[in-house]
Structure 1
Amino acid sequence: MKVHDFHDGNRQLQDKFGTRKLADNLAKRATETLGDDERKFIEGANMFFLATCDDRGLPTCSYKGGEPGFVRVVDEGSIAFPNYDGNGKYQSMGNLLQNPNVGLLFIDFEGQLRLRLQGEASIDENDPLLAEYHEAQFIVRVKVTEAYKNCPRYIHMYKLIKKSEYVPHLGHDTPQPEWKKSAELYE
């Protein structure tokens, strides 16, 4: 099942607002493969949003950040990215163990562009790419089921002011955030 296999709810609203033909034509632009433009966009990104659901259908959405290139296009049908130390709840990553379906949203706020990916994810603590990511806990691989550029109309233009000091990179020990130093969190 793909996002563009529209269900009754999609069709109900498309018909109500007169967008069924538009939706059908846009659906034809979705692909299962990543070309050179998508590769460049994804591998140039320093962040993306990851949507997951648990086995009960309860969703969560996470911001994933890193240095440009931290998400790698492995081949035309898959991507990989590291999981770094976070808040310790493993909501998104734990969801992948129950339900592999994911949605990823890549946004270039300076260029006002966005790309959506849908896919099936897996986690591997022994992935060969793991050695290439400083301080990564494991690698997430996503088999792309749909990729499509998305309307940039409502993207606000932002400029990067400062990179996060907490993004892991080689030759630098990542500092622990102050909130994680609280002893009461570990009692």
Structure 2
Amino acid sequence: MSQGERNLQSKYGTKRRAEAFYNNQVLDHLNTDMAQFISEQEMAFVATSDSEGNCDNTFRAGNPGFVRVLDERTLFYPEYRGNGVMASLGNISENPHIGLMFIDFHTHHIGLHVNGTAEILEDESLASLGIDDDTIQRLQQEEDGRAERWVVIRVDEAYIHCSKHIPHLLKKSEVVDWGTDDEKKKGGDFFNVRRRK
């Protein structure tokens, strides 16, 4: 919790409600139910900022459980080939603070916030987490060799995002063409940026 939160809770009279939330819903680690929830998710929203506080929010997706919980204070996810900009990783290299938001739109209609500090690791550096070579090889097999590197997060806080306004969506079966360079499959110039430059 930040000093800004505290100041505004006093200003707007929400301190008692906030204290109840902190006491009943916020942990400094992932409990068993949170770890199970993460293991079922196919997507996450990732928030980072650079050393000057300029923010970036992005979307990550993979097979269910692509974000892996190593222990109650550590999780990690693969970075796949993208557009080459490296916005999130660039921010992490300057400022390790990160926020992950997992939302289940399909089954439980609930969300989970995980905030912490991040670091970028290559395959060979996963050993520093106590992951052996066989497990690293298995991880790459699970990722079909698509993981170019990994983002490791040390958990500072984890808490619920209430289901009240989470839309209930239906999951559609489709084949995902991971790593494609096909412009049409990637969305092309949907927002007509090229045309207007």
Shorter chain as denominator, the TM-score bin is 0.7 to 0.9
Residue in structure 1 matched with residue 88 of structure 2 by the alignment: 92
- 1:47 maps to amino acid: M
Give the alignment's TM-score, normalised by structure 1: 0.83
User: What SS is found at the alignment partner of 2:36?
Assistant: helix
Tell me the alpha carbon deviations over residues 56-81 of structure 1, each in whole angstroms, 9 at most, x when there is no partner.
11000010000101110001111010
> Which residue identity does 2:18 align to in structure 1?
A
Q: CA deviation at 1:163?
A: 4.3
1:34 counterpart = 2:43 = no
**Identity of matched residues, %:** 35
Amino acid at match of 1:68: P
> What value does the CA root-mean-square deviation take over the aligned residues?
2.1
1:23 pairs with 2:34: no
Runs (4+) of structure 1 exceeding 2 A deviation are 9-18, 126-134, 174-177
Are 1:176 and 2:176 counterparts? no
Structure 1 or 2: more helix by fraction: 2
Structure-2 residue corresponding to 1:55: 51
Q: Does 1:70 align with 2:63?
A: no
Distance apart, 1:107 and its partner CA: 0.2
- Relative distance call for 1:34 and 1:12 in structure 2 (3 A) is closer
**Aligned counterparts of 1:25 and 1:48: Cα–Cα separation in 2:** 27
Q: Residue 87 and residue 164 in structure 1: after superposition, are their counterparts in 2 closer, same or farther (change >3 A)?
A: farther
Q: Shift of residue 18 of structure 1?
A: 2.5
Aligned length: 171
Q: Which consecutive residues of structure 2, in runs of 5 or more, have no partner in the other structure?
A: 128-135, 189-193
TM-score scaled by length of structure 2: 0.79
Q: Which runs of 5+ in 1 are unaligned?
A: 168-173
